[in-house]
């Protein structure tokens, strides 16, 4: 058996990348990373808005189902438009989630049958926070006048709705005429 050892043989086909090729690849990767740093936050915000819109629609459907079952809307019947916000919203979510002990605004249990109209989580102390960890608001036409009065961006609107749910969006503040327009509603306000 014969063994051939070759020393210092130069390869004719060198493998590897040139400096120019490496710089081109690094530039492309950097460009893609820069584009993604803009696109990902926008996509996340769009996802939060879609989640909020879905939850608002579900809340409105639950309030209407409550009306169908009990023959009245939840809330203070002495007011033509009752707004659930803050602690009263937490109570509303608990009632719609099947809490048979909560009284909302009168002395009778608001959901004596314990029916689950809403499949969200029971509120506890937080209710159902929107995607920005703020509270949703719900306006109900408790007097059944056929309209809800709502002020948005400095304009008062009489809406032909029985229930309107909304979120103040990312900034947590109501839209103003000169400020941001990021509030999210369960219905089109046009």
User: 7 lies in a domain?
Assistant: no
Cα separation, 160 vs 22, whole angstroms = 63
Q: Which residues contact 98 (CB under 8 A, 6 or more apart)?
A: 111, 114, 115, 116, 117, 122
Tens of pLDDT, residue by residue over 4-59, are 665 555 555 667 888 898 999 999 999 998 888 888 989 999 999 999 999 999 99
Q: Confidence class of residue 61 from pLDDT cuts 50, 70 and 90?
A: very high
Write down the H helix ranges in 71-145. Answer: 86-96
User: 1 lies in a domain?
Assistant: no
User: 136 lies in a domain?
Assistant: yes
In 3-state terms, what secondary structure has residue 8? coil
User: 18 lies in a domain?
Assistant: no
User: 85 lies in a domain?
Assistant: yes
Q: What pLDDT does 100 receive?
A: 79
Q: Name the residue among 84, 171, 77, 161 with its Cα closest to residue 128.
A: 84
Domain region containing 156: 46-185
User: 115 lies in a domain?
Assistant: yes
Cα separation, 115 vs 134, whole angstroms = 26
Tens of pLDDT, residue by residue over 138-179, are 999 888 888 888 887 778 888 899 999 999 988 888 877 666
User: 157 lies in a domain?
Assistant: yes
Phi/psi at 170 (5° precision): -60, -40
Number of domains in the chain: 1
The answer to whether residue 121 scores a pLDDT higher than 70 is: no
User: 64 lies in a domain?
Assistant: yes
Tens of pLDDT, residue by residue over 86-111, are 778 888 888 888 887 877 766 677 88
Q: What pLDDT does 97 receive?
A: 86
Q: What pLDDT does 152 receive?
A: 77
Strand partners, 186: none
Q: Which H or E run contains 140?
A: strand 137-140
């Amino acid at each position: 058996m014969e063994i051939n050892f070759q020393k210092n043989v130069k390869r004719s086909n060198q493998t590897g990348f040139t400096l120019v090729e490496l710089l081109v690849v690094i530039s492309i990767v950097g460009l893609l990373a820069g584009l993604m740093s803009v696109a990902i936050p926008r996509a996340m915000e769009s996802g939060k808005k879609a989640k909020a819109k879905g939850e608002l629609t579900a809340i409105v459907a639950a309030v209407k189902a409550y009306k169908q079952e009990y023959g009245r809307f939840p809330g203070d019947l002495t007011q033509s438009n009752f707004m659930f916000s803050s602690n009263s919203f937490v109570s509303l979510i608990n009632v719609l989630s099947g809490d048979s002990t909560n009284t909302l605004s009168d002395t009778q249990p608001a959901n004596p049958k314990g029916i689950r109209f809403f499949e969200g989580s029971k509120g506890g102390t937080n209710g159902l926070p929107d995607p920005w960890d703020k509270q949703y608001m719900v306006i109900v036409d408790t007097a059944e006048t056929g309209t809800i009065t709502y002020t948005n961006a400095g304009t008062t609107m009489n809406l032909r709705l029985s229930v309107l749910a909304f979120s103040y969006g990312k900034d947590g503040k109501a839209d103003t005429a000169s400020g941001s327009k990021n509030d999210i509603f369960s219905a089109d306000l046009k």
